Structure formats: C-alpha cells, structure tokens
A and B are shown apart, each in its own frame.
With several copies, the nearest count.
Chain A
Amino acid sequence: MNRFSREQMAARVARDIPNAAYVNLGIGLPTMVANHLPKDREVILHTENGLLGMGPAPAPGEADPDLINAGKQPVTALPGASYFHHADSFAMMRGGHLDCCVLGAFQVSVAGDLANWHTGGKDAIPAVGGAMDLAIGARSVYVMMEHQTKSGESKIVADCTYPVTGLACVNRIYTDLAVIDVTPVGLVAIDIVPGLSFAELARLTGVPLRDGTTVADAA
C-alpha cells in the first residue's frame, strides 16, 4: 500500500500553517514540520520551556546547554525572540494564544479525544510533561501519527483505550494514509494518499468517516 512518508506528512502539515501563526511543535515527528515551513511565511515557534521565536538547531559545535527545546535538544533563538518563565509560558498556552500545536498520538477518537501520554501499562512509568496543556490550549490541535498500529489496528478509534490527554481537543489528524478533520458531524477525510480509495480508507479506519475529498474538489 502506498503511504505518505514522514517527510510528506511534515510537509503537508507545514502547508496548513499560515503566515504569522504562533505554533508549538511537539516532541518527535512534529518537530520535522519546522523544516518544511514555506520560506515565504513567517511562523513563530513556541517552546514551552520558555522561548518564543525558536530557531533551528545550532551549527555543529555551537550548542548552548541553556538554550534547548521541550525535547531538551539544542536550538537557537531568532531575532525577535523572547524568554519567559514557566508560569508565563504555560499561561500563554492555556490562555489560547497559540494558533496551533502539532502533537504525536497513540490514539484519537471520533470525538477528538487525544491519547498521547501514557500507554497505561502496569510497568510503564507515566510522564505527561506539557502534553495536557498543549491539548487544551492551542486554538487548533493537529495530530501527526501513523494510521495504524504495527499490528494493523486503526489508531483512530470510537473511544480511546489508552488514558486520554484531553477530551474533544483534536481538530485535524495527519496520518500516513490521509488527512482527516474532526468536525461536529464526525470525521471527514479531506486528503487521501494517492492510490488508496475512500472506501478502503474507511475500512482501514474502522469508525464512521465521511468523504470530504470530492466535496473539496467540487468547491
């Protein structure tokens, strides 16, 4: 089966982020979105450990241990950046000032519930970080994940079986098979990987799904 590559997924997310947006990119796959932001757009990146105006990774040998992102990787600060403390940083998130955040996920439900912090396993050590704040804080919450688990189950579910991070918070899901909007009338596929039919996507997804690709073409 044809699949969007991780780079293609990141590029697709980047295309949906408008000029002048304030954006938080979660740890892991979402971090790749930064490399695909169109050059003609100025997008301001926030990292919850206290920096607005985050730049790319530093040149080799120029890493500063006091200048890191939420994943504790070295980053840089752009002209126009500002530093602030943790309460101010999370006030910025919780207060709805970020236009968008992009997060990884274990599961997303048809209602937009997000599960991305804890497998719930008995021997798993839980760690939540800023995931719950991002889930409820940003105006738009985008999820990037593989469509299916390694064993072939859909990660888009009727109800999350993993512990949730936030309820009804996801607005759009980017997978290796499709882009799906979470709407008041249910899930709507707005983009499908070339070669995959809507019917096949719906079957693989396993929950009610509308075809928004033809509507989009007609519009």
Chain B
Amino acid sequence: MINKIVPSAAAAVADIHDGATVMIGGFGTAGMPSELIDALIDRGARELTIVNNNAGNGDIGLAALLKARRVRKIVCSFPRQTDSHVFDALYRAGEIELELVPQGNLAERIRAAGAGIGAFFTPTGFGTLLADGKETRVIDGRNFVLEFPIHADFALIKALRGDRWGNLVYRKTARNFGPIMAAAAKCAIAQVREIVNLGDLDPEAVVTPGIYIQRVIEIPLATRVAAAPGAAA
C-alpha cells in the first residue's frame, strides 16, 4: 500500500540537510507552510538556499528561518516589503545572498525544472539589469533571454486537502507556487488542513497529482491559533 502520510512536521523535514536547496510555497503569507518552516528551524539545517516569491514577512515563518541564520542565499522576486525587516537587515549587513528573478521567470524556471525542460527563451527582463550577461536571441523579430530551470532538493508547500497518494487541492490564491514547486523538488512535502480518504478528491479537480508529492502532513487550521496562547503561557 502507498501511504505518504507522515505523523509529524518534525518527521516530515527530518532529512533536510545542511546546504540543501529548499523551495517554500506561498505569496506573502497566503500558502506559506508555516508549521513546516517552524519544524525546519527546529531541525537546525544550515547554509540553506531558499526559493520563495518573497523574503519573509514580520518575524514568523520564512522570516524566522532567516532570523535564525539558516539561510545562505535566497532566490525570489520581491524581497522588499513593508514588513521584511529581518531580510533587510541581513541583506544590508551582507549576510545573505540574493538572486532576484522577475516573478514570471521565477515561476517558469520552477515549472521548467519539474517539466524536464533544459532552458527556455523568455521575453521578460530583456534589456534590464536582471538579464545582464545572459544569452539573448531575436526570434520572429522579438527579443528573448535564455533562462534555466531551478531545481530543488525539497519543497515545503501548503494545500487545503490531501490523500494518502499525495493528491492535493488548494484554497483560493494560496495555490500560487505550490503545484510547480512540488514538481521541481526531489522531495515535496505538503502540509494540508485535512487528510481525506483516497477517492474523496474529485479526479477532475485535483490540482497536484500525487506523483509530485512524497510526504503529506495534516495540520488542522485550528492548531496554530490554539497553540499560540498555550505557547505564551
């Protein structure tokens, strides 16, 4: 029998090693797998390369991982936000490397890794600082830049529901990078609000087929909210 369900967030991230490339889903906090990130902080892996759209918000989730000095490099499109003070301080101190990628190229490079594409010509970024030194080509009279896939060792993503095969459905705009990161990583770990029985997800509406997911951990919606006062007590 196939059973990708793991008993705890700690178990889910137990083999994330120093120096790993880890994709983390989410657009801001929508779709951010906070409990998996917390488990990764507890796990203690260092010198990580993180791929995310942003570079952390406030002091929780990805920001907490940065604050704990576990991240050597971040690949993202939009680090600077009103509440990205953790990243901002590390960056200004020269203590974190930044690879800035236009958001669509970031998404397409992640997609290319999962789809077995070796490289692709994109019009985005042509003639800008972010294409400096990159190969370009004119195709049908239009300018393109050659971009390469971004692969990862692990992906941490958040979905709404999953089953023991790893099939996933998401919730609203929290879907964002989850499906493509799952496919781009050797080991994709999904936290879901609810684990359902095999066959409960409509096969027409499954967004991430289970083939892309190696581990599923159930984190009910109430857990985090309920845990906060307890942790403070």
State the A residues within 8 Å of B (CB): 19-20, 22, 42, 44, 46-53, 64-68, 72, 77, 79-87, 89-98, 118, 123, 125-133, 136-137, 163-167
User: When the two chains form the complex, which single residue of B28, B104, B107, B130 contacts A68, counting CB atoms closer than 8 Å?
Assistant: B28
**Are A95 and B203 in touch, CB under 8 angstroms?**
no
Specify which chain A residues have a CB less than 8 angstroms from the CB of B98 in the assembled complex.
Answer: 126
CA distance A22 to B166 in the complex (A): 13
CA distance A130 to B108 in the complex (A): 12
Is the CB of B119 closer than 8 A to any CB of chain A?
A: no
**Are B79 and A77 in touch, CB under 8 angstroms?**
no
User: When the two chains form the complex, which single residue of A77, A86, A165 contacts B176, counting CB atoms closer than 8 Å?
Assistant: A86
**Are A132 and B27 in touch, CB under 8 angstroms?**
no
User: When the two chains form the complex, which single residue of B30, B104, B171, B177 contacts A93, counting CB atoms closer than 8 Å?
Assistant: B104
CB distance from A198 to the nearest CB of B (A): 32
Q: Which segment, of B14-22, B59-67, B206-214, faces chain A?
A: B206-214
User: When the two chains form the complex, which single residue of A48, A50, A126 contacts B80, counting CB atoms closer than 8 Å?
Assistant: A126
Q: How many residues of B contact A (CB 8 A)?
A: 71
Specify which chain A residues have a CB less than 8 angstroms from the CB of B30 in the assembled complex.
Answer: 49, 65-68, 72
Closest 6 CB pairs of A and B: A79-B199, A94-B116, A90-B104, A91-B115, A133-B104, A82-B206
Specify which chain B residues have a CB less than 8 angstroms from the CB of A136 in the assembled complex.
Answer: 123-124, 126
Residue interface bits B178-208, CB-to-A below 8 A is 1, else 0 = 1110010000000000000011010110110
Specify which chain A residues have a CB less than 8 angstroms from the CB of B2 in the assembled complex.
Answer: 19-20, 42, 44
Q: Given A68-B173, A94-B116 in contact, is the A129-B127 Cβ separation under 8 Å?
A: no
CB distance from B78 to the nearest CB of A (A): 4
**Are B88 and A125 in touch, CB under 8 angstroms?**
yes
**Are B180 and A87 in touch, CB under 8 angstroms?**
yes
**Are B116 and A137 in touch, CB under 8 angstroms?**
yes
**Are B77 and A128 in touch, CB under 8 angstroms?**
yes
CA distance A151 to B72 in the complex (A): 40
**Are B210 and A52 in touch, CB under 8 angstroms?**
yes
CA distance A77 to B206 in the complex (A): 13
**Are A82 and B209 in touch, CB under 8 angstroms?**
yes
Specify which chain B residues have a CB less than 8 angstroms from the CB of A68 in the assembled complex.
Answer: 27-28, 30, 173
CA distance A93 to B163 in the complex (A): 22
Specify which chain A residues have a CB less than 8 angstroms from the CB of B108 in the assembled complex.
Answer: 87, 90-91, 94
CA distance A97 to B27 in the complex (A): 23
User: When the two chains form the complex, which single residue of A50, A53, A65, A96 contacts B175, counting CB atoms closer than 8 Å?
Assistant: A50
